[in-house]
A and B are shown apart, each in its own frame.
Chain A
Amino acid sequence: MTPSDDRGAERRAGPKRPALARETLLAIIGALALVLCAWAIPWLKFVLTIALAKGIAVLGILLLLRAGQVSFGHSMFLAVGAYTVAFVAPGTPEVLLLLPLAALLAAALGLVIGLFVVRYRDIFFGMLNLALSMVIYSLLEKMYAVTHGTDGIRVAGLTFAGQRLEREVQEWAMFGIALTLAVGFGLLVRAYLGSPMGRALAGIKTRETRLEFMGLSARLVLLFAYVLSALMGGVGGALVAMTSRHVTPQLAYWTSSGELVFIAILGGAGSALGPFLGATAFELVRVYAAAAVADAWQMILGGVLLVVILFAPGGVWGILSSKLKGRGA
């Protein structure tokens, strides 16, 4: 077969997508590895559940990164999800109701804030998000009568489909829910990025004018991504609250938002797997580095990020993906 024949066949069937196969393979291996780790080292279950929850939130950062925008205030949606759980759990302790409620409220806030911030780009977009998140932080901190300020709120006992579970079983349930949602949102984001919506979103980064002259509203395209990212932030926050059983205003503080951006870059923006690779790496490095050198763990994380930015701009996903490609998988 000559090369031109090959191209003709490709035109009809579409090019082969080795990247897609690598992604799927890596996702399955990753999920199995997480389950295995959680089973072998029980105390890691907590860490891994938090990592998955943050990974879901970081998926939202990834969407905005595709449009060339960085939000330095995204943890406000995490906080909304988390506080929703804390406020509502005493009356309605059902996890299966709390999660959609948290998602809905975060998406609603995302819509309100989004209508405003999608008018701006680049540094203005980033700083407006930062400013608004600090407003939320201040409200959570100052309204002591409602939020108990920096003391935070202890999350009441939860039920799973009506069942009150024992501690060990509950930890597994939370881990399972987080993993299921991570896979679900990962697939959703992957499909979204391959759709005209997702392609137009990436178009905001390169040729925003063209979008208008194709009859599309760039703001609407970005708003959709923003609301989806807020929704995932809310789900991530709800999972964090359910797992850690305690919420504080710190969740909305700007350093928490910075952490999400940090994880996004660490994991790599090239794939929907990146956020989960990044979040797992981040939480594991944090746990082990904090155990090894209690005062310097942030320095170790900073060093890791520097190495990633300088030598592996594709993040953990970029490293693993090229390793697999090298083996011809």
Chain B
Amino acid sequence: MSTPPVTAPLLSAKGLRLAFGGVKAADGIDLDVMPGEFLAIIGPNGAGKTTFINMSTGYLRPQAGSIEFDGQPILGLKPRAIVRRGIGRSFQLPQLFTEHTVLENAALAVASRLGPWSPLTPLLRPAWREEAMDLLERFGLAQVAESRADTLNEGARKLADIAMAVALQPRLLLMDEPTSGVAAAEKMQIVETLVRVLRQSGVTAVFVEHDMDVVARFADRVAVWSQGRIAALGPPAQVLADPVVQRDVIGISTHA
């Protein structure tokens, strides 16, 4: 069997437009995410990076344009329908069930994927418990499995948040600033863990990132967002060396 000459994109956005009042959060976004790649989104605050994630996950509806996932249009679907098709997301502010333990959080995500369930099945039944525990081990969170989610430090909360998204076995994972708020010393370690798990699971990833060291080291391609448009797109070595990007994006990012 010969390999097809051109690989079809996993996610394909065309001409996305969305304005909040006079602010153009998306002003003609065209972006193809290829299967298996790690695509970083960089750009100053307010450029529309999170808006793109929100549109791709059904949280916001663009006023114009189309989004296809695996060749199927997903525009107009509810977030939970899009999740079921294989697009996961993690949040800039981790969205954990704070009253539950980390293990219960993970097991609930595992159970959601495998549902529907009878209301009499215990959440921590062996199959779900084991899968959740495996997942937490891969993320290096096994030690805090029995801790309440609100007792974790920021780095562990970020990882737990992403682990919950990974438990749903997405094909594409959209991560909004996976390292924001994490202590600088922990940052590289967290991203390494993250990249290792995602590569193992064969998950394609799009992540918003402000740290250019992280981008340079882990991204296959970089998309530069600026005022609702993609100003540049390409391999990190090329994009990050562009003087315009350095002045307009990296300059602002590092001072922000």
Which positions in B face A, CB cutoff 8 Å?
57, 78-80, 83-84, 88-89, 91, 95-100, 104, 107-109, 111-113, 115, 117-124, 128-129, 133, 142-143, 145-146, 164-165, 168
A60 smallest CB distance to B (angstroms): 14
Partner of A195, one of B57, B83, B119: B119
In the bound complex, do residue A212 and residue B79 qualify as a contact, i.e. CB atoms below 8 Å apart?
yes
- Complex contacts, A206 vs chain B, CB 8 Å: 97-99
Q: Are B97 and A11 in contact (CB under 8 A)?
A: no
What is the 8 Å Cβ interface bit string for chain A, positions 182-195, against chain B (1 contact, 0 not)? Answer: 00000010011011
- Output the nearest chain A residue to B146 by Cβ-Cβ distance: A15
In the bound complex, how far is the Cα of B110 from the Cα of A204, in angstroms? Answer: 18
B3 vs chain A, min Cβ distance (A): 33
Contact A11 B133 (CB under 8 A): yes
* Chain A residue, CB-CB nearest to B90: A213
Across the interface, A191 reaches (CB within 8 A) one of B119, B145, B146, namely B119
1/0 contact trace for A221-265 toward B, CB 8 Å?
Answer: 000100010000000000000000000000000000000000000
Complex-state Cα separation, A198 to B89, whole angstroms: 23
State the CA gap A224–B115 with chains docked (Å): 15
Q: Does A200 contact B (CB under 8 A)?
A: yes
**C-alpha spacing A188/B120, complex, angstroms:** 7
Is A191 touching B95 in the complex (CB atoms < 8 A)?
no
Could you tell me the distance between the alpha carbons of A14 and B128 in the complex, rounded to whole angstroms? 12
Is A203 touching B119 in the complex (CB atoms < 8 A)?
no
Pull 9 A–B residue pairs with CB atoms less than 8 Å apart, ordered by A. A11-B133, A14-B129, A194-B122, A195-B119, A205-B99, A210-B164, A213-B57, A215-B112, A215-B113
From A7, A192, A202, A213, B100 is in contact (CB under 8 Å) with A202
What are the residues of chain A within 8 A of B142 when measuring CB–CB? 11
Q: Nearest 9 CB-CB pairs, A to B?
A: A196-B111, A210-B95, A214-B112, A215-B83, A197-B119, A212-B79, A192-B119, A191-B120, A203-B97
Q: Which residues of B contact A216 (CB under 8 A)?
A: 80, 112, 115
Residue ID in chain B nearest A188 by CB atoms: B120
Query: Which residues of chain A have a CB within 8 Å of any CB of chain B?
Result: 7, 10-11, 14-15, 188, 191-192, 194-200, 202-203, 205-207, 209-210, 212-217, 224, 228
Q: Which residue of A lies closest to B108 (CB)?
A: A199
Chain A residue contacts of B111, Cβ below 8 A: 196
Whether B119 lies near A198 (C-beta < 8 A) is yes
Say whether B121 contacts A195, CB under 8 Å. Answer: yes
A interface, over-half SS: helix
Known interface pairs A206-B99, A214-B83, A215-B83; A191-B113 also in contact (CB < 8 Å): no
Which residues of chain B have C-beta atoms less than 8 A from A217's C-beta? 80
Q: Which of A188, A192, A196, A212 has the most CB of B within 10 A?
A: A196
CB distance from A16 to the nearest CB of B (A): 11
- Besides A215-B112, A215-B168, 10 more A-B contacts (Cβ < 8 Å) are A191-B119, A195-B120, A196-B107, A200-B112, A210-B91, A213-B57, A214-B109, A215-B83, A217-B80, A224-B119
Query: What is the chain B residue whose CB lies nearest that of A202?
Result: B99
Return the chain B residue nearest A189 by Cβ. B119
- For B57, B100, B133, which residue has the most chain A Cβ atoms within 10 angstroms? B100
How far apart are the CA atoms of A199 and B99 in the complex, in Å? 10
Nearest CB on B from A205, distance (A): 7
Q: Judging by beta carbons under 8 Å apart, are B89 and A213 in contact?
A: yes
* Complex: A203 Cα to B46 Cα, angstroms: 30
Do B97 and A207 touch across chains, with their CB atoms under 8 A apart?
yes
Other-chain residue from A7, A15, A213, A214 in contact with B108 (beta carbon distance below 8 A): A214
A214 to B106, CA, bound (A): 11
Residues of A within 8 A of B145 (CB): 11
> In angstroms, how far is the closest chain B Cβ from the Cβ of A24?
16
Known A14-B129, A206-B99; judge A215-B120 contact (CB<8 A).
no
- Taking the closest CB of chain B, its distance from the CB of A200, in whole angstroms, is 7
A203 and B107 alpha carbons, distance in the complex (Å): 13
B120 and A200 contacting across the interface, CB-CB below 8 Å:
no
Once A10-B146, A195-B118, A195-B121 are accepted as A-B contacts, the answer to whether A213 and B104 lie under 8 Å apart by CB is no
Most buried by A among B89, B97, B104, B128: B97
